[in-house]
Amino acid sequence: MITVAAIGAELTRDDQPHLPLSHAEIAADAAACREAGASIYHLHVRDNRGDPTMDVETFRAARDAIADATDLIVQFTSGGAVSDTEDARLAPLQLRPEMATLTTGTVNFGDEVFLNPMPLVGRFYERMRSLSILPEFEIFDSGMLAGAERLSRDSSNDHHRHYDFVLGVPGGMPGWPDALAFLTAKLPDGATWTATGIGRHHLSVTQEALSRGGHVRTGFEDVRFFEPGRLATSNAELIRRVARLAKEMGRTLATPDAARTLLELS
């Protein structure tokens, strides 16, 4: 499975001129990513000024535009931006996306803090499950695995466990490819996992994930340069590279429906 984290909450058009912002641009971006081999679209949205927002109607417009253009699994962020309130981050879930991210602990995020105390995590988890949304546990640091484990232990919910290791956020777990051996050894039986490396760590983490049988994530939220000194021209360009690497390493690309089967989405 290839996830595209196409937008994020931090990047601006000044940083990356090809960042899709309007719902029409997002739909066109999603269609190109699907064509390139993506199966999951990790969705953040922006307001008319290009600033990150958790506005429900903006999520609805983007989600519907992606669904009209593609069969991709749309995965909403519940992380938003570090400045978003708990209620704002929760609000778009009412649209019942197939999946949503769930970070299971607090982490430094550059000079800021991405705040996820356990009561918030528990509340987000219960809301997702009550709406039949599959959480993807976002693991920015190894201790967050214990946070995800605690949810499973404290909850009667039985669902497929899918994890995403996000390595290389300043303040989180560095982009050490060999960290994946340690992290994946701690996963519960039957779990699936994705990995991504932020910025300069992107390709080394991607290659390690592919060689270990993991799934991968790419896109402007994680990486803006295609190579040193050259910005990527589109999310699809990043997907094409990962798809090429995957095929060369003997992996088969999952279609969105194959990903739904792997993730036990109904």
Binding site residues, Zn ion, CB under 5 A: 77
Contact 144, 165 (CB under 8 A): no
Q: Which is nearer to ligand KMH, 78 or 192 (CB)?
A: 78
Q: Which partner, Zn ion, ligand KMH, none, binds residue 236 by CB below 5 to 8 Å per kind?
A: none
244's enclosing H/E stretch is helix 235-248
Q: Which partner, ligand KMH, Zn ion, none, binds residue 36 by CB below 5 to 8 Å per kind?
A: none
Q: Which partner, ligand KMH, Zn ion, none, binds residue 165 by CB below 5 to 8 Å per kind?
A: none
Nearest approach, Cβ of 176 to ligand KMH (angstroms)?
A: 20
* 4 bridge partner residues: 41, 218
Nearest approach, Cβ of 8 to Zn ion (angstroms)?
A: 5
The contact set with ligand KMH (CB under 6 A) reads 8-9, 77-79, 81-82, 101, 103, 109, 114, 138
Q: Which is nearer to Zn ion, 77 or 235 (CB)?
A: 77
Q: Which is nearer to ligand KMH, 5 or 32 (CB)?
A: 5
229: left (phi over 0), alpha (psi -120 to 50) or beta: left
Residue with tokens 């290009």: 50
111: left (phi over 0), alpha (psi -120 to 50) or beta: alpha
Q: Which is nearer to ligand KMH, 8 or 168 (CB)?
A: 8
**Largest separation between any pair of C-alpha atoms in the chain:** 50
- In a 3-state reduction of DSSP, which class is residue 46? strand
Nearest approach, Cβ of 199 to ligand KMH (angstroms)?
A: 14
Q: Which two tokens stand for residue 45?
A: 């949205």
